[in-house]
Structure 1
Amino acid sequence: MLRTVLLCVLFLLGGWAAARWLTCDFQVWTDEGARRLEVALRPVPVPPVAVQGPAVTAPDLPALLTTDGGATIVDFIYTHCETLCLSLGSSFQQLQAALQADRTAGHTPGVRLLSISFDGARDDPAALQAYARGLRADPALWRFVRVPDGAQQRALLRRLGVVVVPDGRGNYEHNAALLVFDARGRMVRIFDMAEQQMALDYARHLARRPQ
């Protein structure tokens, strides 16, 4: 009887230790949660991939993210998407409205929005311009770019943990999140679409904080 009790206790202790290790001391329970914790603890610098977009003169993504300081909220989209990207566009419209309200109230937002297309073959600057116009994007607050080089685009998606899978019919299955970058061009936090207010509040805090 005692031996059985001792074995059960050892089994439970072993399970507790394994769970603690796998969940980073019980802080996360999923792969996505682990990814978000890792980013928060170790910000991820973007690779120097070339970008193109309407009225964008920065030669690469790090230069675009670090111009004028502040913080940037980023999403990944493609203009032919009729599902998830529509929700992302709606979230960014609401974020833009909040930033415009800040500006109207006399506060410098210090936060910008950036949509990056992962369909670089079709989403040239003209297509991105039309897409931005359809969303009534304010170019002072919300910009759109693509990464024209396929190898660089794959490297960027891999670095940031963005999953994009072609469905064979010209569309893509992809994850969706709001990625917050600091003034040094580093991804510092990841939020769900439903956490857009949290993403905005954090970006505002980041923009006010000395870098």
Structure 2
Amino acid sequence: MLRTAALSLLLLLGGWGAASWLTYDFQVWTDEGARRLEVALRPVPAPAVAVEGPDTPALALSALLRQDGGVTIVDFIYTHCQTVCLTLGGSFQQLQAALQADAATGQASGVRLLSISFDAARDDVPALRAYAARLGADPALWRFVRVPAPAQQQALLLRLGVVVVPDGRGDYEHNAALLVFDRDGRLVRVFDLAEQQLALDYARHLARQARTPVVAQGPS
């Protein structure tokens, strides 16, 4: 009896310890949650993959994200998508309207938007330009790019934890999220699509921090 109770206690403690380790002390219970916590704890530098798009000459993604010292909210889309990408497009339209309102008050937020296509075979520059026009994208605030090289595209998706699976009918199953990159081109937070306002507020906060000069503290 005592031996059975002791063994049960050991198994319980072992299971609790394993669960605690796997879920970062019970903070997350899914792979996606773990990924987001990992990003928050250890920001991910964007790889120097080559991108191109309307109003964006070919250059490295890492350089594009660092341009002008701004903060960037990124999503991953493809222009033939008739499901989640439509929701992402609507979300970015609302984000763009909020950023335009910021600028109209004379308080430009320092936040911009970037949509990256993972369907480079069909989403060439003219296709991205037409898609941007349909969504009413302002190129000063919202740009569209693709990664022409398939190997670089796969490396980018893997680095950022973006899951894209061909469905065998010319379309894709993919996760949808809002990725916030700081002015150094590092992925610092991942938000659910439903957390659109939270993503915007966080990006605004980062941009304000970047513009605030650091005051040196003298000896006390």
Counterpart of 1:18 in structure 2 is 18
Correspondence 1:84-103 to 2 at 5 A: 84-103=84-103
Q: What are the Cα deviations for residues 55-105 of structure 1, in whole angstroms up to 9, with x where unaligned?
A: 113511111100011210000000000011001001111111111111111
**TM-score (structure 1 length as normaliser):** 0.96
The separation in 2 between residues aligned to 1:45 and 1:30, in whole angstroms, is 23
Counterpart of 2:134 in structure 1 is 134
The separation in 1 between residues aligned to 2:175 and 2:90, in whole angstroms, is 16
The separation in 2 between residues aligned to 1:86 and 1:74, in whole angstroms, is 15
Secondary structure at 1:119's aligned position in 2?
Answer: coil
Secondary structure at 2:52's aligned position in 1?
Answer: coil
Code of the residue aligned with 2:201 in structure 1: it is D
The separation in 2 between residues aligned to 1:3 and 1:35, in whole angstroms, is 40
The separation in 1 between residues aligned to 2:161 and 2:88, in whole angstroms, is 17
Counterpart of 2:143 in structure 1 is 143
The separation in 2 between residues aligned to 1:153 and 1:7, in whole angstroms, is 50
Code of the residue aligned with 1:90 in structure 2: it is G
Counterpart of 1:104 in structure 2 is 104
Secondary structure at 2:47's aligned position in 1?
Answer: coil
The separation in 2 between residues aligned to 1:71 and 1:45, in whole angstroms, is 13
- Asked if the contact 2:73–2:113 (Cα under 8 Å) also holds between the matched residues in 1, the reply is yes
Counterpart of 2:70 in structure 1 is 70
Correspondence 1:1-211 to 2 at 5 A: 1-57=1-57, 59-210=59-210
- Residue 2 of structure 1: how far off its partner (Å): 3.3
- Asked if the contact 1:120–1:148 (Cα under 8 Å) also holds between the matched residues in 2, the reply is yes
Q: What are the Cα deviations for residues 16-67 of structure 1, in whole angstroms up to 9, with x where unaligned?
A: 1111111111111111111111111111111111111111135111111000
Secondary structure at 1:21's aligned position in 2?
Answer: helix
After superposition, the CA RMSD in angstroms is 1.3
The separation in 1 between residues aligned to 2:151 and 2:201, in whole angstroms, is 34
- Residue 200 of structure 1: how far off its partner (Å): 0.6
- Uncovered stretches (5+) of structure 1, i.e. residues with no partner: none
Q: What are the Cα deviations for residues 80-131 of structure 1, in whole angstroms up to 9, with x where unaligned?
A: 0001100100111111111111111111111000000001111111111110
Number of residue pairs aligned between Structure 1 and Structure 2? 211
The separation in 1 between residues aligned to 2:10 and 2:160, in whole angstroms, is 40
- Mean CA deviation greater in 94-103 or 56-65: 56-65
- Aligned residues: percent identity? 76
- Asked if the contact 1:70–1:208 (Cα under 8 Å) also holds between the matched residues in 2, the reply is no
Secondary structure at 2:12's aligned position in 1?
Answer: helix
Secondary structure at 2:27's aligned position in 1?
Answer: coil
Code of the residue aligned with 1:2 in structure 2: it is L
- Uncovered stretches (5+) of structure 2, i.e. residues with no partner: 212-220
The separation in 2 between residues aligned to 1:78 and 1:58, in whole angstroms, is 19
- Asked if the contact 2:73–2:181 (Cα under 8 Å) also holds between the matched residues in 1, the reply is yes
